[in-house]
Structure 1
Amino acid sequence: MSLFNRFLAVLFTCVSVASFANEPVEIFWEDLVPEGHVTVDTRNSAASHEGAEQNWVQPNLDAPVVQKYNGKTVSLPGFVVPLEGDSEVITEFLLVPYFGACIHVPPPPPNQIVHVTIADGVPIESLYDAIVVTGVMSAESWSGDIAKTGYKIKGIGVAPFEL
Protein backbone atom coordinates (compact mmCIF):
# COMPACT_ATOMS: atom_id res chain seq x y z
CA MET A 1 0.00 0.00 0.00
CA SER A 2 1.42 3.35 -1.00
CA LEU A 3 2.01 6.12 1.52
CA PHE A 4 -0.78 8.17 -0.11
CA ASN A 5 -3.27 5.26 0.16
CA ARG A 6 -2.35 4.78 3.83
CA PHE A 7 -2.88 8.50 4.41
CA LEU A 8 -6.32 8.29 2.76
CA ALA A 9 -7.24 5.22 4.82
CA VAL A 10 -6.24 6.96 8.07
CA LEU A 11 -8.03 10.16 7.02
CA PHE A 12 -11.21 8.23 6.14
CA THR A 13 -11.10 6.41 9.49
CA CYS A 14 -10.68 9.69 11.41
CA VAL A 15 -13.53 11.35 9.52
CA SER A 16 -15.78 8.31 10.03
CA VAL A 17 -15.05 8.15 13.76
CA ALA A 18 -15.54 11.92 14.16
CA SER A 19 -18.87 11.90 12.33
CA PHE A 20 -20.02 8.86 14.30
CA ALA A 21 -19.10 10.60 17.57
CA ASN A 22 -21.38 13.51 16.64
CA GLU A 23 -24.35 11.31 15.73
CA PRO A 24 -27.15 12.05 18.19
CA VAL A 25 -28.23 9.33 20.58
CA GLU A 26 -31.91 8.61 19.95
CA ILE A 27 -33.69 8.60 23.30
CA PHE A 28 -37.30 8.33 24.44
CA TRP A 29 -39.16 9.51 27.53
CA GLU A 30 -38.76 6.24 29.42
CA ASP A 31 -34.96 6.67 29.09
CA LEU A 32 -35.22 9.79 31.28
CA VAL A 33 -36.64 7.89 34.26
CA PRO A 34 -34.14 5.97 36.43
CA GLU A 35 -34.62 2.21 36.43
CA GLY A 36 -37.06 1.13 39.13
CA HIS A 37 -38.63 4.58 39.59
CA VAL A 38 -42.37 4.80 38.91
CA THR A 39 -43.51 7.89 37.00
CA VAL A 40 -46.80 9.61 37.82
CA ASP A 41 -49.03 9.86 34.72
CA THR A 42 -51.06 13.10 34.80
CA ARG A 43 -52.84 12.70 31.44
CA ASN A 44 -56.14 11.63 32.96
CA SER A 45 -56.15 14.29 35.66
CA ALA A 46 -59.01 16.75 35.42
CA ALA A 47 -58.19 20.43 35.07
CA SER A 48 -60.46 23.41 35.31
CA HIS A 49 -59.61 26.48 33.26
CA GLU A 50 -61.88 28.81 35.19
CA GLY A 51 -60.16 31.88 36.58
CA ALA A 52 -56.67 33.14 35.87
CA GLU A 53 -54.75 30.71 38.07
CA GLN A 54 -54.05 27.10 37.19
CA ASN A 55 -55.69 24.77 39.69
CA TRP A 56 -53.20 21.92 39.61
CA VAL A 57 -49.91 21.09 41.24
CA GLN A 58 -47.04 19.43 39.45
CA PRO A 59 -46.47 15.99 41.02
CA ASN A 60 -43.24 14.53 42.33
CA LEU A 61 -41.08 17.68 42.17
CA ASP A 62 -38.08 15.70 43.42
CA ALA A 63 -38.39 12.99 40.73
CA PRO A 64 -34.91 11.55 40.09
CA VAL A 65 -33.16 12.15 36.76
CA VAL A 66 -30.73 10.12 34.66
CA GLN A 67 -27.18 11.50 34.45
CA LYS A 68 -26.08 9.27 31.57
CA TYR A 69 -26.95 11.79 28.82
CA ASN A 70 -25.14 14.79 30.36
CA GLY A 71 -23.12 16.50 27.63
CA LYS A 72 -24.34 14.09 24.95
CA THR A 73 -26.01 15.09 21.71
CA VAL A 74 -29.45 13.48 21.77
CA SER A 75 -32.65 13.38 19.72
CA LEU A 76 -35.93 13.28 21.66
CA PRO A 77 -39.48 13.37 20.24
CA GLY A 78 -42.25 15.28 21.97
CA PHE A 79 -44.65 18.21 21.93
CA VAL A 80 -43.96 21.92 22.29
CA VAL A 81 -45.13 24.25 25.04
CA PRO A 82 -43.82 27.64 23.83
CA LEU A 83 -42.14 30.02 26.28
CA GLU A 84 -40.26 32.64 24.22
CA GLY A 85 -40.36 33.77 20.61
CA ASP A 86 -42.47 35.70 18.16
CA SER A 87 -44.93 34.98 15.36
CA GLU A 88 -42.11 33.59 13.18
CA VAL A 89 -39.91 31.48 15.46
CA ILE A 90 -39.60 30.25 19.04
CA THR A 91 -36.31 30.35 20.93
CA GLU A 92 -37.35 28.70 24.19
CA PHE A 93 -39.92 26.01 24.93
CA LEU A 94 -40.75 23.01 27.06
CA LEU A 95 -40.65 19.62 25.38
CA VAL A 96 -43.24 17.28 26.86
CA PRO A 97 -44.15 13.64 26.14
CA TYR A 98 -47.79 14.17 25.19
CA PHE A 99 -49.98 16.92 23.77
CA GLY A 100 -51.57 19.23 26.32
CA ALA A 101 -49.10 18.64 29.14
CA CYS A 102 -48.63 21.86 31.15
CA ILE A 103 -51.53 23.55 29.33
CA HIS A 104 -54.67 21.37 29.36
CA VAL A 105 -53.69 18.87 32.05
CA PRO A 106 -51.36 19.03 35.05
CA PRO A 107 -47.68 18.91 34.11
CA PRO A 108 -45.85 15.60 34.29
CA PRO A 109 -43.03 15.18 36.86
CA PRO A 110 -39.84 17.17 36.17
CA ASN A 111 -38.03 14.10 34.82
CA GLN A 112 -40.61 14.05 32.01
CA ILE A 113 -40.18 17.69 30.91
CA VAL A 114 -37.20 19.18 29.06
CA HIS A 115 -36.43 22.91 28.85
CA VAL A 116 -35.15 23.64 25.32
CA THR A 117 -33.36 26.74 24.07
CA ILE A 118 -32.36 27.34 20.45
CA ALA A 119 -30.25 30.46 19.87
CA ASP A 120 -31.55 31.39 16.40
CA GLY A 121 -35.03 30.01 17.00
CA VAL A 122 -37.06 27.59 14.92
CA PRO A 123 -40.44 27.86 13.25
CA ILE A 124 -43.11 25.63 14.78
CA GLU A 125 -46.02 25.30 12.39
CA SER A 126 -48.49 23.58 14.70
CA LEU A 127 -48.39 22.87 18.41
CA TYR A 128 -50.55 19.81 17.71
CA ASP A 129 -47.75 18.09 15.79
CA ALA A 130 -45.00 16.04 17.42
CA ILE A 131 -41.43 17.10 16.72
CA VAL A 132 -37.95 15.71 17.33
CA VAL A 133 -35.45 17.99 19.06
CA THR A 134 -31.73 17.41 18.60
CA GLY A 135 -29.20 19.05 20.89
CA VAL A 136 -26.87 18.74 23.84
CA MET A 137 -28.62 17.50 26.98
CA SER A 138 -27.92 18.19 30.63
CA ALA A 139 -29.58 16.83 33.75
CA GLU A 140 -30.15 20.36 34.97
CA SER A 141 -33.30 21.75 36.52
CA TRP A 142 -35.22 24.78 35.25
CA SER A 143 -38.27 26.38 36.84
CA GLY A 144 -40.92 28.61 35.31
CA ASP A 145 -44.48 29.67 35.98
CA ILE A 146 -46.04 26.50 34.61
CA ALA A 147 -43.59 23.75 35.50
CA LYS A 148 -40.24 22.61 36.82
CA THR A 149 -38.04 20.51 34.53
CA GLY A 150 -35.40 17.92 35.26
CA TYR A 151 -33.48 18.37 32.02
CA LYS A 152 -32.29 20.99 29.57
CA ILE A 153 -31.37 20.71 25.90
CA LYS A 154 -29.34 23.32 24.07
CA GLY A 155 -31.02 22.76 20.73
CA ILE A 156 -29.25 22.55 17.39
CA GLY A 157 -32.22 21.38 15.34
CA VAL A 158 -35.89 20.52 15.21
CA ALA A 159 -37.67 18.26 12.72
CA PRO A 160 -41.19 16.85 12.36
CA PHE A 161 -41.64 13.52 14.12
CA GLU A 162 -42.22 10.69 11.68
CA LEU A 163 -43.19 7.14 12.59
Structure 2
Amino acid sequence: MVHPSRRRVLALIATALVPGPALARSFREITWDDLIPAGVPYGEIIGPGRIDAVNDTWVPQFDENAAKVNTALDGQAVKLPGYIIPFDVGSGGVTSFMLVPYVGACIHTPPPPPNQLVFVTTATPRPSESLWDPVWVSGKLSAKAMSTEIAEVGYQLTAEKIETYEW
Protein backbone atom coordinates (compact mmCIF):
# COMPACT_ATOMS: atom_id res chain seq x y z
CA MET A 1 0.00 0.00 0.00
CA VAL A 2 1.34 3.43 -0.96
CA HIS A 3 1.00 6.15 1.64
CA PRO A 4 0.91 9.80 0.58
CA SER A 5 3.84 11.87 1.73
CA ARG A 6 3.44 14.28 4.61
CA ARG A 7 3.99 17.21 2.20
CA ARG A 8 1.19 15.94 -0.09
CA VAL A 9 -1.23 15.56 2.84
CA LEU A 10 -0.45 19.09 4.09
CA ALA A 11 -0.91 20.49 0.57
CA LEU A 12 -4.31 18.79 0.25
CA ILE A 13 -5.42 20.11 3.65
CA ALA A 14 -4.26 23.66 2.80
CA THR A 15 -6.10 23.53 -0.53
CA ALA A 16 -9.28 22.36 1.16
CA LEU A 17 -9.12 25.19 3.71
CA VAL A 18 -8.64 27.99 1.14
CA PRO A 19 -11.95 29.44 -0.04
CA GLY A 20 -12.67 29.23 -3.79
CA PRO A 21 -12.29 32.94 -4.68
CA ALA A 22 -8.91 33.08 -2.96
CA LEU A 23 -7.45 30.53 -5.35
CA ALA A 24 -5.44 32.06 -8.17
CA ARG A 25 -7.49 32.54 -11.29
CA SER A 26 -5.91 32.30 -14.68
CA PHE A 27 -6.56 35.37 -16.82
CA ARG A 28 -6.15 35.33 -20.59
CA GLU A 29 -4.00 38.28 -21.63
CA ILE A 30 -5.68 40.15 -24.49
CA THR A 31 -4.98 43.28 -26.53
CA TRP A 32 -7.28 46.02 -27.77
CA ASP A 33 -7.26 44.40 -31.21
CA ASP A 34 -8.88 41.32 -29.64
CA LEU A 35 -11.94 43.43 -28.77
CA ILE A 36 -12.66 43.94 -32.48
CA PRO A 37 -14.47 40.96 -34.00
CA ALA A 38 -12.57 38.87 -36.53
CA GLY A 39 -12.93 40.19 -40.06
CA VAL A 40 -13.61 43.79 -39.02
CA PRO A 41 -10.55 45.91 -39.87
CA TYR A 42 -9.96 48.88 -37.57
CA GLY A 43 -9.75 51.18 -40.61
CA GLU A 44 -13.40 50.44 -41.34
CA ILE A 45 -14.61 51.39 -37.86
CA ILE A 46 -13.81 55.09 -37.97
CA GLY A 47 -15.18 57.18 -40.83
CA PRO A 48 -14.03 60.59 -41.99
CA GLY A 49 -15.58 62.61 -39.14
CA ARG A 50 -16.06 66.36 -38.91
CA ILE A 51 -14.85 69.41 -37.03
CA ASP A 52 -17.05 70.76 -34.20
CA ALA A 53 -16.19 74.45 -34.59
CA VAL A 54 -18.13 75.47 -31.46
CA ASN A 55 -16.14 73.17 -29.17
CA ASP A 56 -13.00 73.16 -31.34
CA THR A 57 -12.82 69.36 -31.41
CA TRP A 58 -12.76 66.57 -33.95
CA VAL A 59 -15.90 64.44 -33.93
CA PRO A 60 -15.26 60.99 -35.43
CA GLN A 61 -17.97 59.28 -37.40
CA PHE A 62 -18.28 55.61 -36.56
CA ASP A 63 -19.93 53.12 -38.85
CA GLU A 64 -21.89 50.05 -37.71
CA ASN A 65 -18.61 48.13 -37.23
CA ALA A 66 -17.68 50.39 -34.30
CA ALA A 67 -20.39 48.87 -32.13
CA LYS A 68 -19.60 45.26 -33.06
CA VAL A 69 -17.99 43.40 -30.16
CA ASN A 70 -16.13 40.13 -29.94
CA THR A 71 -18.81 37.94 -28.35
CA ALA A 72 -16.29 35.07 -27.99
CA LEU A 73 -14.81 37.08 -25.09
CA ASP A 74 -18.15 37.41 -23.28
CA GLY A 75 -17.85 35.93 -19.78
CA GLN A 76 -14.13 35.27 -20.12
CA ALA A 77 -11.49 35.96 -17.45
CA VAL A 78 -9.18 38.43 -19.19
CA LYS A 79 -6.22 40.72 -18.48
CA LEU A 80 -6.15 43.95 -20.52
CA PRO A 81 -3.73 46.90 -20.37
CA GLY A 82 -4.93 50.49 -20.60
CA TYR A 83 -5.46 53.85 -18.94
CA ILE A 84 -8.04 54.94 -16.38
CA ILE A 85 -10.68 57.62 -16.96
CA PRO A 86 -12.31 57.85 -13.49
CA PHE A 87 -16.07 57.90 -12.91
CA ASP A 88 -16.63 57.22 -9.20
CA VAL A 89 -13.90 58.48 -6.88
CA GLY A 90 -14.12 58.31 -3.11
CA SER A 91 -11.69 58.79 -0.25
CA GLY A 92 -10.29 55.29 -0.88
CA GLY A 93 -9.81 55.80 -4.59
CA VAL A 94 -11.57 54.99 -7.86
CA THR A 95 -14.29 52.31 -7.86
CA SER A 96 -15.55 52.67 -11.43
CA PHE A 97 -13.76 53.90 -14.50
CA MET A 98 -13.45 53.69 -18.25
CA LEU A 99 -10.46 51.67 -19.42
CA VAL A 100 -9.13 53.21 -22.62
CA PRO A 101 -6.36 52.14 -25.02
CA TYR A 102 -4.29 55.33 -24.87
CA VAL A 103 -3.65 58.14 -22.40
CA GLY A 104 -6.13 61.02 -22.58
CA ALA A 105 -8.75 59.16 -24.63
CA CYS A 106 -12.23 60.57 -23.97
CA ILE A 107 -10.86 63.61 -22.13
CA HIS A 108 -8.57 65.55 -24.46
CA THR A 109 -9.54 63.76 -27.66
CA PRO A 110 -12.73 62.34 -29.10
CA PRO A 111 -13.60 58.96 -27.62
CA PRO A 112 -12.50 55.77 -29.34
CA PRO A 113 -15.23 53.62 -30.90
CA PRO A 114 -17.46 51.66 -28.51
CA ASN A 115 -15.64 48.38 -29.15
CA GLN A 116 -12.44 50.05 -27.90
CA LEU A 117 -13.90 51.13 -24.54
CA VAL A 118 -14.34 49.04 -21.38
CA PHE A 119 -16.35 50.21 -18.35
CA VAL A 120 -14.74 48.77 -15.20
CA THR A 121 -16.13 48.37 -11.70
CA THR A 122 -14.06 47.21 -8.75
CA ALA A 123 -14.72 46.40 -5.11
CA THR A 124 -11.12 47.35 -4.29
CA PRO A 125 -10.61 51.07 -5.01
CA ARG A 126 -7.60 52.12 -7.12
CA PRO A 127 -5.67 54.95 -5.42
CA SER A 128 -6.50 58.19 -7.22
CA GLU A 129 -2.93 59.56 -7.11
CA SER A 130 -1.81 57.04 -9.73
CA LEU A 131 -4.49 57.60 -12.37
CA TRP A 132 -2.10 58.60 -15.17
CA ASP A 133 -0.14 55.36 -14.87
CA PRO A 134 -0.93 52.56 -17.32
CA VAL A 135 -2.55 49.55 -15.65
CA TRP A 136 -3.35 45.91 -16.16
CA VAL A 137 -6.96 45.12 -15.31
CA SER A 138 -7.90 41.49 -14.73
CA GLY A 139 -11.45 40.25 -14.34
CA LYS A 140 -14.58 38.93 -16.01
CA LEU A 141 -15.35 40.66 -19.32
CA SER A 142 -18.89 41.18 -20.54
CA ALA A 143 -19.62 42.03 -24.19
CA LYS A 144 -22.48 44.25 -23.09
CA ALA A 145 -22.99 47.77 -24.43
CA MET A 146 -23.79 50.71 -22.19
CA SER A 147 -24.04 54.46 -22.49
CA THR A 148 -22.13 56.91 -20.26
CA GLU A 149 -21.93 60.70 -20.19
CA ILE A 150 -18.57 60.43 -21.99
CA ALA A 151 -19.19 57.82 -24.67
CA GLU A 152 -20.96 54.71 -25.87
CA VAL A 153 -19.17 51.66 -24.45
CA GLY A 154 -18.98 48.16 -25.92
CA TYR A 155 -17.70 46.18 -22.94
CA GLN A 156 -17.98 45.97 -19.17
CA LEU A 157 -15.49 44.34 -16.82
CA THR A 158 -15.72 43.42 -13.15
CA ALA A 159 -12.15 43.84 -11.94
CA GLU A 160 -10.62 41.29 -9.60
CA LYS A 161 -7.15 42.78 -9.85
CA ILE A 162 -5.71 46.14 -10.94
CA GLU A 163 -1.97 46.52 -11.08
CA THR A 164 0.50 49.00 -12.51
CA TYR A 165 1.64 48.12 -16.02
CA GLU A 166 5.36 47.40 -16.04
CA TRP A 167 7.28 47.96 -19.29
Q: TM-score, normalised by structure 1?
A: 0.77
Contact 1:58 1:109 in 2 (8 A): no
Which residue of the partner structure matches residue 120 of structure 1?
A: 124
Question: 2:31 matched to which residue of 1?
Answer: 28
8 Å CA contact 2:83, 2:99 repeated in 1? yes
Post-superposition offset of 1:124: 3.7
2:103 and 2:135 map into 1 onto residues whose CA distance is 11
Look up the match of 1:99.
103
Read off the aligned partner of 2:59 and give its amino acid letter: W
Where does residue 89 of structure 1 map in the other structure? 93
TM-score for both structures, normalised by structure 2: 0.75
Partner Cα separation in structure 1 for residue 29 and residue 77 of structure 2: 9
Work out the CA distance in 2 between the residues paired with 1:125 and 1:147.
24
| Aligned-pair CA distance for 1:48 | 7.1
Distance 1:126 1:46, change over 3 A: farther
Higher relative contact order, chain-length normalized (CA < 8 Å, sep 6+): 1
Tell me the distance in 1 between the aligned counterparts of 2:69 and 2:131: 26
Contact 1:90–1:124, Cα closer than 8 Å, also in 2? yes
SS in 2 for 1:99: coil
Structure-1 separation of matches of 2:50 and 2:130 = 24
The question of whether the paired residues in 2 share the 8 Å contact of 1:58 and 1:106 is answered with no
Indicate conservation of the 8 Å contact 1:96/1:113, yes or no.
yes
Q: 1:88 to 1:150 in 2, by over 3 A?
A: same
Moved >6 Å (runs of 4+): 45-50
Deviation at 1:125, TM superposition (A): 2.8
Per the alignment, residue 130 of structure 1 pairs with 134
* % identical equivalent positions: 37
2:138 maps to amino acid: T
Aligned to 2:159: 155
Q: What SS does the corresponding residue of 2:139 show, helix, strand or coil? A: strand
Q: CA RMSD in A?
A: 3.3
Whether the 8 Å CA contact 1:73–1:134 is kept in 2: the answer is yes
**CA displacement 1:10-66 (0-9 Å, x = unmatched):** x5xx99xx967x211101101111112122587xx8977976x97735634652111
Inter-CA distance 138–86: structure 2 relative to 1 (3 Å threshold) = same
| Contact map agreement 2:58 2:109 (CA 8 A) in 1 | no
Gaps of 5+ in 2: none
Q: Which amino acid aligns with 1:24?
A: F
Q: Which one has a bigger Cα radius of gyration?
A: 2
Shift of 1:161: 0.7
More strand by share: 2
Matched pairs, number = 155
Retained in 2: the 8 A contact 1:64–1:111? yes
1:58 and 1:88 map into 2 onto residues whose CA distance is 38
Code of the residue aligned with 1:121 in structure 2: it is: P
Cα distance change of structure 1 residues 49 and 94 upon mapping to structure 2, 3 Å threshold: farther
